[in-house]
Chain A
Amino acid sequence: MITLIPGALFLFAVLGVVEVASRTGIVNGAVIPPPSMVAMIFLQIVTSGAFVAPLLQTLELLFAGYLTGCGLALLCGILMGSFRPVYNLFEPLTELLRPIPKPALLPALILFLGLGSTMKVTVVALAAFFPVLINTIQGTRSVDVTMIDTARTFGYGKAQILWRIVLPAAAPYYLAGMRVSLAIGLVVIVMAEMLTSNGGVGATLIDMQHEFKVRQTYGWLAVLALTGFSLNALFTWIERRLTFWSAS
């Protein structure tokens, strides 16, 4: 706890400077509001429960897309990492699709999938897919061949080798990928919501911005920051539970 003090002091010092600058007019107070006002609005958003509905929608779509994307990526990654022919078959395609900035795909996605949940889940899944795929391929390849051979001599079937050797051994890799995908997924879902304005935190942000409610915008950004922070902490907790056996 004591170690948090320097960090807290630093944070409050920075906020203090902004507060003074904003209130005295050194910076335009209508544009960079005093942190104290933002804090009040943030508390209001939280205590009034206004954050619940949009946040739930955002998280719902995020998880749906994220889990889909990661699941598919794990599957494809293991297949591509284990079997050269499979890798060669899909590598040109994935190398072509990976660099496409996903927001550029939105018009096509909206055409085929509409403006609702399906489209948003898909775009999140697409964005989450590639980091996990790359990392899973790398992780699968890094599995010590002797381990697999040993397992085979013990009569392990393909499925068992996969479940008991490959998956755990590749875990550090694909978990790292999944962490990156979580951050990317959050960015993408917020962006999709900002562009389609149909509920969710992103849509709320855009609404606040349209009405030039700058303080509310920062209040909701604080909600978003806290959400991302919590998601990351949650991920770390889950990751630790899953990999307790590996020495770091």
Chain B
Amino acid sequence: MTGNRRAFLAALTLPMIAARASAAELTRLRVGAIAITDCAPFFAALQQGSFASNGLDVVTESETGGALGIPAVVAGAYDIVYTNLPSALLAIQQGIDLRFIAGGSPLNPPDTTGLLIRHGDAMRTGKDFEGKVIGINDTRGLQWMYARGWIKATGGDQDKVTYRAVSFPQMSDAVKNKYVDGIIPSEPFLSLNRSDPTLDLIASPGRTVFPKGRVAAWVVSGDFATRHADLVRKFVVAMDKGSQWVNANLNTPAFAQFIAGYTKLDVARVATLAKGPTSVGISASDVRRMADLMRANGLLTTAIDPVTKIAVPR
């Protein structure tokens, strides 16, 4: 664990030192990311020096929550931030000017979330969950929409189920101690709980409700997108390189070390995470799909034209 961190820091700083040596033409870019597998292309680009070779001096901070980036961008603390798509759309709905410049990439196949119950319980469909409690990370967030969608798709009345907020690390405790009857964790908690013999995985609500959908994005303020389109372009080009590195190295041991390095997860645990190829594009239809899902769940009430919100450099 210590070794991982040291190696990772060394790997990070070497290209940065080299870049600094070559110089003053680097433009500083403040980026907010989250230390999760979804941000792998970003951290890969950082590690490989792709930002530096594109003339960017990326200064990054990791946040604890998916939606903290947006207030920070508004406050001018960050230039670019990684956030989940529903939060971004909710912010846009409230008049905050944001643009999408790249897609958050699911490192794993769409099964990054799953519905688990106590071993031995009989629930299998949405109908079975009526009158019961499901623990989700964010009431009125992505997993909430997944839960509701899955309940409805499997024959249940989504309003007859109670949804309770449980943070990911507490989910297994919550379901085992009967505070909730089902949980929808995300990686790495999904694979952690899957391997627990006292819990059963009964469904993949994400796959049922929003197959192959983009759920996160890198955003900037509208102002920034207009005034610094060149920086945005360089950022996305570097990210793309990072994503290519990830795809090329997916099954190598160096990859597990890399992920363990920035997430601080144990290397052994990283090996159990499901992996898949990634990409960092985002399109208007990605945004439209999410907007429709949110509208169906009553989260979005105003019309948002996705095309105007995409600022992906050509």
Contacts and interface: CB of A to CB of B under 8 A. Distances in A.
Given A30-B96, A115-B166, A207 B179 contact: no
Contact of A212 (B94, B138, B167): B94
B285 interface: no
Among B87, B141, B167, B169, the one with the most A-chain Cβ atoms within 10 Å of its Cβ is B167
Given A28-B74, A30-B95, A207 B166 contact: no
B2 interface: no
Contacts of A198: 164-165
Contacts of A203: 165
B75 A31 contact: yes
B139 to A, nearest CB: 5
B233 interface: no
Given A30-B95, A212-B90, A197 B177 contact: no
B138 A210 contact: yes
B140 interface: yes
A195 B173 CA distance: 16
Contact of B139 (A107, A110, A197): A197
A110 B95 contact: no
Contacts of A196: 165
A211 B139 CA distance: 11
Interface string A109-125: 01100111000000000
Given A28-B74, A107-B169, A107-B170, A211 B177 contact: no
A30 B74 CA distance: 9
A210 B90 contact: yes
Nearest to B92: A212
A210 B140 contact: yes
A210 B141 contact: yes
Interface string B159-187: 00000111101100110010110000000
Contacts of B174: 110, 114-115
A207 B139 contact: yes
B273 interface: no
Contact of A207 (B91, B95, B140, B173): B140
Interface in B62-111: 67, 70-71, 74-75, 87, 90-91, 93-96
A214 interface: yes
A212 B170 contact: no
A240 interface: no
A198 B174 CA distance: 14
A211 B87 CA distance: 7
B244 to A, nearest CB: 34
B67 A116 contact: no
A98 interface: no
Nearest to B133: A115
Contacts of A164: none
B74 A116 contact: no
A139 B87 CA distance: 52
A114 B167 contact: no
A197 B170 contact: no
Nearest to A195: B167
A213 interface: yes
B137 to A, nearest CB: 10
Given A28-B74, A114-B174, A212 B96 contact: yes
A105 to B, nearest CB: 13
Among A114, A198, A207, the one with the most B-chain Cβ atoms within 10 Å of its Cβ is A114
Interface of B: 67, 70-71, 74-75, 87, 90-91, 93-96, 138-141, 164-167, 169-170, 173-174, 177, 179-180, 299
Interface of A: 28, 30-31, 107, 110-111, 114-116, 195-198, 203, 207, 210-214
19 contacts: A30-B95, A31-B71, A31-B75, A111-B170, A114-B174, A114-B177, A114-B179, A115-B164, A115-B166, A115-B179, A115-B180, A116-B179, A195-B167, A197-B165, A198-B165, A207-B139, A211-B94, A212-B90, A212-B94
Given A197-B139, A212-B70, 14 more contacts: A110-B173, A114-B177, A114-B179, A115-B165, A115-B166, A115-B174, A115-B180, A195-B167, A197-B165, A198-B164, A210-B138, A211-B140, A211-B299, A212-B96
